[in-house]
Amino acid sequence: MRRVCRGLMAILVVIGPASAVAQTVDAGRGELPVHVPSSYDEAAPAPLIVLLHGYTSSGAGQDTYMQVSALKDAYGFIMVAPDGTREDGGNRPRFWNASDACCNFRGSTVDDVAYLAGLIDAVKAEYAVDDKRVYLFGHSNGGFMSYRMAHEHPGVIAAIASLAGADQSRPRPAPPEPVHVLQIHGTADTAIPYEGGDFRERELPGAKASVENWAAHNGCAVTGADSGTLDLDGGIDGPESDVTRYTDGCRPGGSAELWTIDGGGHVPALSPHFTRLVVEWLLGHPKP
């Protein structure tokens, strides 16, 4: 009996503190998996990354594409990848009610801003989350949604990264607090054009305009500085992506950055470096 007890104690030690918390959360749309790093310790609040899928996709599908949760142990962050609601009609694709341009095509009144804010609060209620390191990372429609959350909850969001999304179509005043913004966009994107313009008969800003909007919001000079190249697209001989940073004169806690994938499409073949570079960028931009 004594030997059995010792064995149980050894198992508990190996499992560690992360297993002591339920790894799901419900913010009103059903149970959602929470990816928790093996190093999780409630005495040491962890960063939180909310991964937002593109139109027609899902949280799980987006993570399969980007492999963000695979890096949770290496970087010590918590991650959730929620699902948008389904359209009424057709194949009922999932979407986020993000902006005039994308992608509420059937006039839904769903309030995704409230849902995502509630989701962040729900994760914080169950886990020790660092309030200065809450991040959004979205693709396409999820990128649009990330920008909207930055506009409407700048006190909560430290930084966003958008792949092939865009800022709001209508001009908006600067939010009361700065938010770091990274836009990643391919010049050959035929769905959400790099230069902006028409998308399903709706106007949207281009990649550079989106970043310059946020440079201005954050008090930065709207003239960016060329800052080297990166290998982001595994289907293009690299390094194929140009980095432009807007960091001069920014308010504390704000900056803007553009990664331009020369020849990249709407769903690039991500290089082995892509997700790691984005995660490192996010974690390197906390609130002050």
| Angular region, 140: left φ>0, alpha ψ -120 to 50, beta rest | left
Taking alpha carbons only, the member of 68, 72, 102 closest to residue 87 is 102
* pLDDT bracket for residue 22 (50, 70, 90): low
Tell me how far CA of residue 113 lies from CA of 110, 149, 212, 226, 231, in angstroms.
Answer: 9, 6, 23, 34, 33
160 and 138 Cβ atoms separated by less than 8 Å: yes
The mean pLDDT value for 53-74 works out to: 98
The mean pLDDT value for 138-154 works out to: 98
Residue 14 has pLDDT above 60, yes or no: no
- CB-CB neighbours of 142 under 10 Å: 31
* Separation CA 167–CA 174 (nearest Å): 13
Q: Tell me, what's the pLDDT at 88?
A: 85
Q: Which residue type is seen at 213? A: N
8-state DSSP, 186 = E
Taking alpha carbons only, the member of 206, 247, 196, 194 closest to residue 223 is 247
Alpha-carbon Rg for the chain, nearest whole angstrom, is: 20
For the chain, what are the domain ranges? 2-283
Helical H runs in 72-183? 72-75, 112-126, 141-152
226 against 16, higher pLDDT? 226
Q: Side-chain half-sphere of 8: how many Cα atoms within 13 Å?
A: 5
Q: Tell me, what's the pLDDT at 19?
A: 40
Please write the tens of the pLDDT for every residue from 24-61: 999 999 999 999 999 999 999 999 999 999 999 999 99
Rounded to the nearest integer, the mean pLDDT of the chain is 91
Please write the tens of the pLDDT for every residue from 153-203: 999 999 999 999 999 988 899 999 999 999 999 999 999 999 998 877 778
Residue 13 has pLDDT above 70, yes or no: no
Residue 16 has pLDDT above 50, yes or no: no
What is the pTM for the complete model shown?
Answer: 0.91
Q: Which residue type is seen at 239? A: P
214 and 181 Cβ atoms separated by less than 8 Å: yes
Q: Which residue type is seen at 123? A: V
CATH of domain 2-283: 3.40.50.1820
Match 């990643």 to its residue by tokens: 184
The mean pLDDT value for 64-83 works out to: 98
Residue 89 has pLDDT above 90, yes or no: no
* Separation CA 67–CA 60 (nearest Å): 10
Q: Tell me, what's the pLDDT at 9?
A: 31
* pLDDT bracket for residue 2 (50, 70, 90): very low
Sequence-separated (6 or more) residues with CB below 8 Å from residue 133: 46, 47, 48, 77, 158, 283, 286, 287
* Separation CA 178–CA 147 (nearest Å): 12
Residue 63 has pLDDT above 80, yes or no: yes
132 and 167 Cβ atoms separated by less than 8 Å: no
